[in-house]
Amino acid sequence: MSDSDDTQLEARLAEQESFEPPASFVEQANVSDPEIYEEFEENWPDCWERAADLLQWESDYDEVLVDDDEPFYEWFTGGELNASANCLDRHLDDRGDETAIHWEGELGESREYTYEDLHREVNETAAALRDLGVEEDDVVTMYMPMIPELPIAMLACARIGAPHSVVFAGFSADALATRMESADSEYLVTCDGYYRRGDPLNHLEKTNEGLADVAHDTTTVVVDRLGDALDHELAEDQLDYDDLVADHEGASVEAVTRDAEDMLFLMYTSGTTGKPKGVKHTTGGYLSYAAWTSHAVLDVKPEDTYWCSADIGWITGHSYIVYGPLALGTTTVMYEGTPDYPDKDRMWDIVDSYDVNQLYTAPTAIRAFMKWGSDYPDRHDLSSLRLLGTVGEPINPKAWKWYYKHIGGESCPIVDTWWQTETGGMMITTLPGVGTMKPGAAGPPLPGIDAQVVDEAGEEVAPGEAGYVTVNKPWPGMLRTLYKNDERFVSEYWEAYSDPDSDEWVYFPEDGAKIDEDDYITILGRVDDVINVSGHRLGTMEIESAVVGVEGVAEAAAVGGDHEMKGEAVYTYVILEDGYEEGEEMKQSIVEGVEDAIGPIARPEEVLFTPELPKTRSGKIMRRLLEDIANGEDLGNTSTLRNPEVVDDIQEKL
Ligand code: WT7
């Protein structure tokens, strides 16, 4: 293509506001009939049988939905199944020799597990865990990076009916301890370390720091990821994963029969208060929903090679690296490292060498690719790609179009999927074989999902006006409760918009949004005190308590400010106690304090010292104003503040 053709194309793309799914895609799509929306609506809730039908049930469910104790809904009640049997055993006859997981390490080594291999190792691990004493319904914590032993341990737990609780490996020792204590989890699977940008990183040290803060006894299994690259010594009561598995070579563990409503896993996520919430997901509803959305939205087919570049430590990895793809019997790719190691074309190298058909990634990554330039993808043959997806935060039209053109070669539909840890799977997105795409807008709610955009009073807003997302009907993948905290479950998600007297239950995801004439929803971001950094949810209260924990800090506020690459970044405003000095050293201890308490992802972008925080007359910190200051926005009238002069002070420092 000549330069001028290219420029013309860029100009056309820049103006184009909607895109049709390519005919070549529609022809082969798992879902291509627009009638599906009506079908689901007319046939609700029985429409969800279509999701359940993607699984193998040991005994049929009696009812699709039981709603006599709202908002404690139950799905597929009376049904029995096992998630690991659904992800492994049932594929053995037809697809035992096919690849289940392609794993690529950061240094370039790779491991391939066929369904048979994966089945074998999951059985051995399940036998080992059972021998250690793990019983049905015991919560097993996993604190591991992107290594195959993570999904293996998850599936081994599922096999014996022990819910897992995966803690993102980038989280701190404190975060591990809090989660293990909150879940009363007495078992931990972790590893010695892993590679980051080529360097071995000691993970066991961090694990041990965390374990020191867990009051109850724990049994810890350690995977040896680094071999000779990192010497590690196990404590006397810690067990080596390889030894355990070798001791159980060839073991076969029958998959236990679980009720549809039995817990499959817990996943902790941040909310408004400082305490992370233990989101509970179930076996039947969650797995059906993960499989259904992988089928309908990601268009996953057994013969595909599918890659979601998220980390399994987040819900995206649970639903769309492990459970959804494996339930459908496809090949799922797992990559251990960072996208720019050893060079900025690492992702495209993986797509090229494995012939990846679907790529599901985050806007923050796409913005980085865009900044690095199209030379990197251009070096590779990306023609195997059929579909692209994004998740985690809003994607701006410019990044969407770059992804569409430079990665998808203008022949792949893009699904911009809005959902949450709590929803278990995708909720708002176009169906790639059905809907027109509008860059920037996630799309309409999926078939069977009754999402709206409403004002404070719960009335639907007019097209173009800002409001809040609500979901007015339950769905199979929904969280069932917050672990051991039914009360907080009701108050966090249901109280805002429900009317229990008239039996109207409305789920409130705490996101702002607008909607257009075609019912396309554009997500505007969180409306609670949560910052979305590179698609990861961080609670401002958690950050603030970390900052206040640093010696010399009297008071702190953390807010999200716009950030070119990360979407949002953490800005902290700090008041010091008398006798402590503002300066680089103090900044450094605050940054370290936050990293220690939460993890490097929460690292403050800016630490601003101030003698006071802007407060309302009633003494509440004006967060909105602090956000505007961070974003360099016009502040308008600040005279309603108790202390307006402090604003100039802070602005001067920025
Ligand atoms: C929050 C949920 C869903 C898995 C990853 C994050 C934001 C998510 C989108 C999107 C705009 C999005 C929302 C949501 N979000 N997807 N496509 N467009 N915003 O899961 O950590 O539970 O965070 O991420 O604000 O509430 P999570």
CA angle 21, 315, 164 (to 5 degrees): 145
CB atoms within 10 A of CB 63: 15
pLDDT digits (tens, 9 = 90+) for 70-95: 999 999 999 999 999 999 999 999 99
Cα-to-centroid distance, 391 and ligand 1 (Å): 6
pLDDT digits (tens, 9 = 90+) for 379-414: 999 999 999 999 999 999 999 999 999 999 999 999
Cα-to-centroid distance, 287 and ligand 1 (Å): 20
Task: Specify the DSSP element, H or E, that contains 6.
Answer: helix 3-15
- 459 pLDDT higher than 70: yes
Minimum-distance ligand 1 atom for the alpha carbon of 536 = 21
Cα-to-centroid distance, 512 and ligand 1 (Å): 11
Q: How many residues does the chain have?
A: 654
Pair 201, 169: CB distance under 8 Å: no
pLDDT score, position 181: 97
Minimum-distance ligand 1 atom for the alpha carbon of 537 = 21
User: Strands, DSSP E only, in 373-426?
Assistant: 387-391, 414-417
Q: What phi-psi label fits residue 419: left (phi over 0), alpha (psi between -120 and 50 degrees) or beta?
A: beta
Instruction: Give the separation between CA 422 and CA 415, rounded to whole angstroms.
Output: 20
Minimum-distance ligand 1 atom for the alpha carbon of 525 = 25
Name the CATH superfamily housing domain 529-653: ANL, C-terminal domain (3.30.300.30)
Q: What is the pTM of this model?
A: 0.96
The CA–CA distances, whole Å, from 504 to 71, 230, 494, 526 equal: 10, 57, 10, 24
Q: Which two structure tokens, joined as six digits, stand for 119?
A: 């089945």
Cα-to-centroid distance, 262 and ligand 1 (Å): 26
Give the residue-averaged pLDDT of 345-356. Answer: 98
**Cβ-Cβ contacts under 8 Å for 2 (sequence gap 6 or more):** none
Instruction: Give the separation between CA 93 and CA 160, rounded to whole angstroms.
Output: 22
- 119 pLDDT higher than 70: yes
pLDDT band at 247 (very low <50, low <70, confident <90, very high): very high
Name residues contacting ligand 1 (CB within 6 A).
Answer: 269, 315-316, 391-394, 416-421, 442, 509, 511, 523, 525-526, 532, 535, 537
DSSP codes of every residue in 173-188: HHHHHHHHHHTT--EE
Nearest residue (by CA) to ligand 1, atom 3, is 420
pLDDT score, position 3: 59
pLDDT score, position 636: 77
Widest Cα–Cα separation across the chain: 74
Cα-to-centroid distance, 179 and ligand 1 (Å): 21
**Sign (positive/negative) of CA torsion 24, 30, 35, 37?**
negative
Nearest residue (by CA) to ligand 1, atom 21, is 537
Domain layout of the chain by residue ranges: 466-522, 529-653
What 3-state DSSP class applies to 64?
Answer: strand
CA angle 504, 506, 511 (to 5 degrees): 160
Q: Which two structure tokens, joined as six digits, stand for 272?
A: 């408004």
- 5 pLDDT higher than 80: no
Any idea of the CA torsion for 81, 87, 93, 99, to the nearest 10 degrees? Answer: 180
Nearest residue (by CA) to ligand 1, atom 5, is 392
What pairing do the DSSP bridges indicate for beta strands 451-454 and 511-515? unpaired
